[in-house]
Structure 1
Amino acid sequence: MKYIYAYFLKEDIEELKKRAPAMEEMKKLLGGKGAGLAEMTRIGLPVPPGFTITTETCIKYFEEKGFPEGLWEEVLEAMKKLEKHTGKEFGSEDNPLLVSVRSGAPVSMPGMMDTILNLGLTDKSVEGLAKQTSNERFAWDAYRRLIQMFGNVVLGIPHEEFEEELEKIKKKYHAKQDVELGVDALRELVESYKRVYKRHGYEFPQDPYEQLRMAIKAVFDSWNNERAIVYRKINKIPDDMGTAVNIVTMVFGNMGEDSGTGVAFTRDPRTGENHLYGEFLPNAQGEDVVAGIRTPHAINEYSKEDANKELPTMEEVMPDVYKQLKEVAELLEKHYRDMQDIEFTVERGKLYLLQTRTGKRTAIAAVRIAVEMVKEGLISKEEAVMRVTPENVDTLLHPQIDPQAKKDTVAKGLAASPGAAVGKVVFDPDEAVELAEKGEKVILVRPETTPDDIHGMNAAQGILTARGGMTSHAAVVARAMGKPAVVGCEELSINMKEGYFIARGHKINKRDAITIDGTTGEVY
């Protein structure tokens, strides 16, 4: 049994095509992400090189309660080929190869399973990365991110403990944002992160292959983490599919102002309009966009919202890269014959594609996209009818707010997922589930949502967040669930401990009733 396919090697791609000729078969074997990487490489798009461990391997891993025989040898062999292809060496002090390790289920489960970036950095290779890039700050920032992610994902150390250390260092160096921390501050942060490990009885591994082995194991295990199980139950996804593991050469969006990372939809996922729509964060790593921590820039004039209307667009700052992205978007949509959701990174002015998948969309968008793709000759009328689900039709009949009604607006955010919802304010996802089970209607209010909040989002009538953009976790998951959502509502000042939020001088306590309008972004 072959455990690994290296999608940058012609012979592996040819073998794959024989074994899984149809896209659906390939997704089953390599997961959605791996199939996308292989397919984009095959059609000549700029994809960072890497390899995928199959979903079958994951199933075997659970059956045998550990790595199946021969898997680790195949991983080592694939790493050697990757080193040769990139001209870099894993763990080297001079020219280190860094990789990301990501999960990839056959069905898209946004954010439900684990990812680790910058793998291969150690006390030695961080100096090599600084030399290789002539950017010491960047190297230490990448290292502290790895230690933080690895601790949380692989060893289960609560991420709040790392956040606390980060806040302490920011206070000490008078920095408002992470990006303001200099080399000395980041070196100090790395040391304090290592102390967090010690408190939990661990050491951060200095052998890059040990990091890789532990990370692969953690991704397999994340198939059965609590939030993934809940998500599968909600979306009726079978438990025995397993996840693939993608090991991909790192490209960096945080190398300076000519770098960045973003998410683009080939059509507007809210309305279905045939317009490239998306968000972009200059000088940032991919996780920063989805986590919704900084306010992203719009990729073009069309994508601007109230929150980022003052910020320059990607089209203005990087016209050539934007033009290339637009061409790639058109090509991918024609190739897959459906609206795509694309993750991309720009490293020093060069565009790389990290993922493409069928984009989640609102019901209104689903109908419009289906109709227009028939007119454009992309799909048949029969296919168009199949693409609009009974749930879509149900959502179109969603409650809307009476435009004539008298309203007292307390806040306005981004209209992330349409429809109106009324309910009692709750701040805790567990409480949302508890009240919903008693038949009460609730609105889940959070600073931002994470994949751990999925059960609360499912129980709520609607979702309201203080941070995050149109492609943040809350926005994507709410659209997929057909739930009204208002995100990035920056006027909200939330006090989680005391259980209230303040907006425009109004104090709204836990269990007070509010209305959110996911079509306009207003909160009443």
Structure 2
Amino acid sequence: MNTQLTLITPTAPMSAAVHGERAKCLQRLIRLDMPVPVTVALPFDAVRDIAQGRMPDMAALIAPFGDRPLLSVRPSSLDPDWGGPGAILNIGMNARRLAQMKETVGARAATALYLRFVQSYAIHVARLDPDAFDLPDVADEASLHTMLDIYETETDEPFPQDPAVQLAEVLRSMARAWEGTTARLLRQAKGAPADAGLGLVVQAMALGVGPGECGSGVIQYVDETTGLRQIKGRYLGQSQGREALGDVEGAIYLTRDDRGPSLEEHCPATFAQLVAYGDLCRRNLREEMQVEFTIEDGHMHILDAVRVQRNSRASVRIAVALAEDGIIPREEALMRVEPAALSELLHRQVDPRAKRDLIVRGIAASPGAAAGRIVLTAADAQASAARGEPCVLVRRETTPEDIRGMHAAQAVLTMRGGVTSHAAVIGRGLGVPCVVGASELSIDRKNGKIIAPDGRRFAAGDVITVDGTTGQVIVGEPPMLEAALDDAFKTLLHWADDVRDIGVRANADTPADAQTARNFEAEGIGLCRTEHMFFEGDRLGVMREMIFAESSDDRRAVLDRLLPMQRADFQALFGIMAGKSVCVRLFDPPLHEFLPSDKQGLRDLAEQLALPLADVTDRVDALSEYNPMLGMRGVRLGIAIPEIYDMQAQAIFEAMAAVGKAGTDISVEIMIPLVSAMREVELVKGRVDAVANAVRAKTKSTLDYHLGVMVETPRAALRAQDIAEHAEFLSFGTNDLTQMTYGLSRDDAGRFMSAYVQQGVYAEDPFHTLDIEGVGELIAIGAERGRLGRPDVVLSICGEHAGSRVAIEFCRAHGFDYVSCSPFRVPVARLTAAQSALQDRQDDENWSGL
């Protein structure tokens, strides 16, 4: 046969990379002795030629099908998920064939076949108006003539009667459709390369109409939503293709069903044959398949088999079940599951079948979906939660003062910010769905409303849904799918743990966060941001008193009231993380974040402190900074106001002593934030060690702690050799390091970042994807120099990038010890790390085999 045409046989030279996955799958079915009709495959190169007008030898193509062929054509791309043109059936129907088939299958059935072919040819090949080619209720000679006349009127030529001409035009139409701009963009959006090829398969028709038992159906052997083994599908007598799946009268179930007749009852031998084929496919194709079949006068034909489309939950369960049944190795099961699928399983999701009335689209900042009544302030969110009413907190942007409201809300929506903004970071930490950067939305505070881009107004109290997985904000409350942490999920992650070669910890700021991290089997806490503890309950008021204290002694007296609260937090957190390491970052944010900025807040603070409003306002103004994120925060506060770090160190060590006496083994790492000079570390280390010695002497306890730094300034990365001489670990905070390396505000960059990415200034948003070339080079320099200063220094990253594939692969390549991400990203990071290790192993094996 022509090299551009391959008759599919068990031994024909074929590959998915040349002919597409459908063609290769059909060959596998033939090798399994399934009754597949005669099929010819056209490779990618041949289809490209057809699109450019160079047709194959049509006589050679039609020859395998006999003198009077009746054919179908289906697309065959490398990945079926990339889509492609729809199948065309009944090619070869013409007046002569109609007359012959009236004698064999009956006038009505033969006419219906011809009508369907004329319709699909007119719409998909001739590109005529679909409204002019509706199928008539009665398939008779008059309606056929009417449709043929309409075709001739629209095209100025009669409907083609030569099967070779019909087939050639179908092939040309499908080839050109694949090469069209819209089709190319659609498949690229699904991950296809720009030059992805299309193969085509030409197959003899199995009619499914005529005397005896005739019909068509589709069967699959697993539920696409749950992943559980279950026979699903429909069968329709006197039908073709996938008609049985439509909302048509007469379609019956496959298995016995109380709701109606079934193929199992009607044709038990045929049903048993289909079940056997399903098991054969599963074991030999190593996948859950959906099989398209036709029955022609009692004889079975298998027309096609495709991978069952599935949601994330089913994807995990199917991969695990195939491995547990010995069909695929565990390593392959790990590689088959997209890490993003795990993220979906951890949260409620909008049912993909639900209709969506879109209000606005923003940046998907924290996955999951939740519905609630609109509230515009943190106080309203807390009040709503107290009433037991779910709410969505809508803010222009959130501040640390909003944390209690974010705890109370079901979801958070902001107009400003990016993926590392305050709302995004806290949302991911809490596991609260969050959409940020919805800049087309506006807030009318005076009237308590939000205004959509299309002008619609939604009042406080109206119900909306925030989908933090897609970035959509939706009217009302659509149906949801619940989170699914089932046995298959846990099994897959345990297999991942056996393979990965880098640690995965969680960022956890409170005992509740720590419990979430423990539930997701994090290896410890890589970042505990202690300042978040100060916003809980009445502590904010005490913190404000400390800020207004005039002397060191006064500050210490106020901090003595915070000490037992912070100690209790640490004690609870250490108890939850028993046997694991906990990295506590000392106080980091600028003090202004704890102070109100609005007039009512200032009046309330003045009343709380019993001070004149003017004095309070002056003090708040005095603490303001032009650029507070580059001002007096982090270690600078610890050196300028050392009482804060002294109190925190005491709380940490006393909590360690308390849990130690209770029999809990805990290893604590104390991290100094925003370091840029070795001397900063020396000063803080001296005070921390002094506090530790005092607590040791007082409690007679052994305190297992290590002191290190958070590398988040470029200078710290460059001077890592000096710093590491006084630090046992270096944890790279990629949020601030990216911000300072680029000179970008992570809260404001969202305003123009999309334009930068679209125009190729940046390949990706550097706050979303770790910048390997710039920020990555600084991290690599810091790691290399840190090892010069201390060969056994422990290296990690703990920014928002930490759970991503790019960051994990970077850390593995540079010998880092662990990554630390938000608790809800821990499962994703565990799987990603395993896949990265497996990919390296596979690459090494391929290299050694060259």
Per the TM superposition, whether the score is higher than 0.5 is: yes
* Alignment partner of 1:272 is 2:227: yes
- The one of 272, 277, 281 aligned to 1:323: 272
Indicate the residue corresponding to 2:28 in structure 1: 39
State which drifts further: 252-261 or 119-128: 252-261
TM-score scaled by length of structure 2? 0.41
User: How far apart, in 1, do the equivalents of 2:83 and 2:132 lie?
Assistant: 21
For structure 1, the 5+ residue unaligned runs are 21-25, 84-88, 91-96, 171-180, 402-417, 425-431, 441-510
Q: CA deviation at 1:114?
A: 2.9
Which amino acid is 2:272 matched to? Answer: K
Residues 239 and 420 of structure 1: is their aligned pair in 2 closer, same or farther, counting only changes over 3 Å? closer
- The one of 58, 63, 72 aligned to 1:80: 63
Which amino acid is 1:77 matched to? Answer: A
- The one of 181, 189, 197 aligned to 2:143: 189
Q: CA deviation at 1:193?
A: 0.8
Residues 436 and 226 of structure 1: is their aligned pair in 2 closer, same or farther, counting only changes over 3 Å? farther
User: How far apart, in 1, do the equivalents of 2:251 and 2:481 lie?
Assistant: 20
- The one of 219, 230, 238 aligned to 1:283: 238
* Alignment partner of 1:396 is 2:345: yes
Please give the secondary structure, in 2, of the residue aligned with 1:361.
Answer: coil
* Alignment partner of 1:232 is 2:229: no
Indicate the residue corresponding to 2:74 in structure 1: 102
Q: CA deviation at 1:514?
A: 4.7
Residues 127 and 254 of structure 1: is their aligned pair in 2 closer, same or farther, counting only changes over 3 Å? same
User: How far apart, in 1, do the equivalents of 2:77 and 2:353 lie?
Assistant: 32
User: How far apart, in 2, do the equivalents of 1:517 and 1:78 lie?
Assistant: 50
Please say if residues 82 and 192 of structure 2, whose CA atoms lie closer than 8 Å, have aligned partners that are also in contact. no
Q: CA deviation at 1:336?
A: 1.2
Q: Deviations over 1:266-292 (max 9, x none)?
A: 322221112332222222111424555
Please give the secondary structure, in 2, of the residue aligned with 1:200.
Answer: helix
Residues 109 and 333 of structure 1: is their aligned pair in 2 closer, same or farther, counting only changes over 3 Å? same
Indicate the residue corresponding to 1:156 in structure 2: 127
Please say if residues 216 and 236 of structure 2, whose CA atoms lie closer than 8 Å, have aligned partners that are also in contact. yes
Which amino acid is 1:360 matched to? Answer: Q
TM-score scaled by length of structure 1? 0.65
Indicate the residue corresponding to 2:97 in structure 1: 125
Residues 41 and 422 of structure 1: is their aligned pair in 2 closer, same or farther, counting only changes over 3 Å? closer
Residues 318 and 231 of structure 1: is their aligned pair in 2 closer, same or farther, counting only changes over 3 Å? farther
* Alignment partner of 1:211 is 2:166: yes
User: How far apart, in 2, do the equivalents of 1:361 and 1:346 lie?
Assistant: 27
Please say if residues 292 and 302 of structure 2, whose CA atoms lie closer than 8 Å, have aligned partners that are also in contact. yes
Please give the secondary structure, in 2, of the residue aligned with 1:229.
Answer: helix
User: How far apart, in 2, do the equivalents of 1:387 and 1:400 lie?
Assistant: 21
Please say if residues 233 and 245 of structure 2, whose CA atoms lie closer than 8 Å, have aligned partners that are also in contact. no
Q: CA deviation at 1:152?
A: 0.8
Which amino acid is 1:45 matched to? Answer: M
User: How far apart, in 2, do the equivalents of 1:299 and 1:41 lie?
Assistant: 24
Residues 420 and 341 of structure 1: is their aligned pair in 2 closer, same or farther, counting only changes over 3 Å? closer
Q: Deviations over 1:466-517 (max 9, x none)?
A: xxxxxxxxxxxxxxxxxxxxxxxxxxxxxxxxxxxxxxxxxxxxx9945432
Q: CA deviation at 1:59?
A: 2.6
User: How far apart, in 1, do the equivalents of 2:220 and 2:160 lie?
Assistant: 38
Instruction: Map residues 14-413 of structure 1 onto 2, 5 A cutoff.
Output: 14-16=11-13, 20=14, 26-62=15-51, 65-67=52-54, 71-72=56-57, 75-83=58-66, 89-90=67-68, 97-109=69-81, 112-131=84-103, 133-163=104-134, 166=135, 169-170=136-137, 181=138, 185-201=139-155, 202-225=157-180, 228-255=183-210, 258-289=213-244, 292=247, 296-301=251-256, 310-399=259-348
Please say if residues 103 and 244 of structure 1, whose CA atoms lie closer than 8 Å, have aligned partners that are also in contact. yes
Please say if residues 109 and 231 of structure 1, whose CA atoms lie closer than 8 Å, have aligned partners that are also in contact. no
Indicate the residue corresponding to 2:7 in structure 1: 6
**Greater relative contact order (CA < 8 Å, ≥ 6 in sequence):** 1
Please say if residues 33 and 105 of structure 1, whose CA atoms lie closer than 8 Å, have aligned partners that are also in contact. yes
Please give the secondary structure, in 2, of the residue aligned with 1:52.
Answer: strand
Please say if residues 34 and 246 of structure 1, whose CA atoms lie closer than 8 Å, have aligned partners that are also in contact. yes
Residues 275 and 67 of structure 1: is their aligned pair in 2 closer, same or farther, counting only changes over 3 Å? same
Larger CA Rg, structure 1 vs 2: 2
Q: How many percent identity over aligned positions?
A: 23
Q: CA deviation at 1:229?
A: 2.7
Q: CA deviation at 1:326?
A: 0.3
Please say if residues 251 and 345 of structure 1, whose CA atoms lie closer than 8 Å, have aligned partners that are also in contact. yes
Q: Deviations over 1:209-251 (max 9, x none)?
A: 1111111111211213466334303211123222112111100
Which amino acid is 1:38 matched to? Answer: Q
Cα-Cα RMSD: 2.9
Residues 420 and 4 of structure 1: is their aligned pair in 2 closer, same or farther, counting only changes over 3 Å? closer
Please give the secondary structure, in 2, of the residue aligned with 1:142.
Answer: helix
Which amino acid is 1:149 matched to? Answer: S
User: How far apart, in 2, do the equivalents of 1:51 and 1:436 lie?
Assistant: 48
User: How far apart, in 1, do the equivalents of 2:179 and 2:340 lie?
Assistant: 27
User: How far apart, in 1, do the equivalents of 2:241 and 2:480 lie?
Assistant: 26
Please say if residues 348 and 480 of structure 2, whose CA atoms lie closer than 8 Å, have aligned partners that are also in contact. no
State which drifts further: 364-373 or 244-253: 364-373
Q: CA deviation at 1:109?
A: 4.0
Which amino acid is 1:123 matched to? Answer: A
Please give the secondary structure, in 1, of the residue aligned with 2:229.
Answer: coil
Q: CA deviation at 1:191?
A: 0.9
User: How far apart, in 2, do the equivalents of 1:192 and 1:319 lie?
Assistant: 42
Q: CA deviation at 1:61?
A: 3.5
Please give the secondary structure, in 2, of the residue aligned with 1:3.
Answer: coil
Which amino acid is 2:297 matched to? Answer: R
Q: Deviations over 1:72-101 (max 9, x none)?
A: 2xx312322321xxxxx22xxxxxx21112
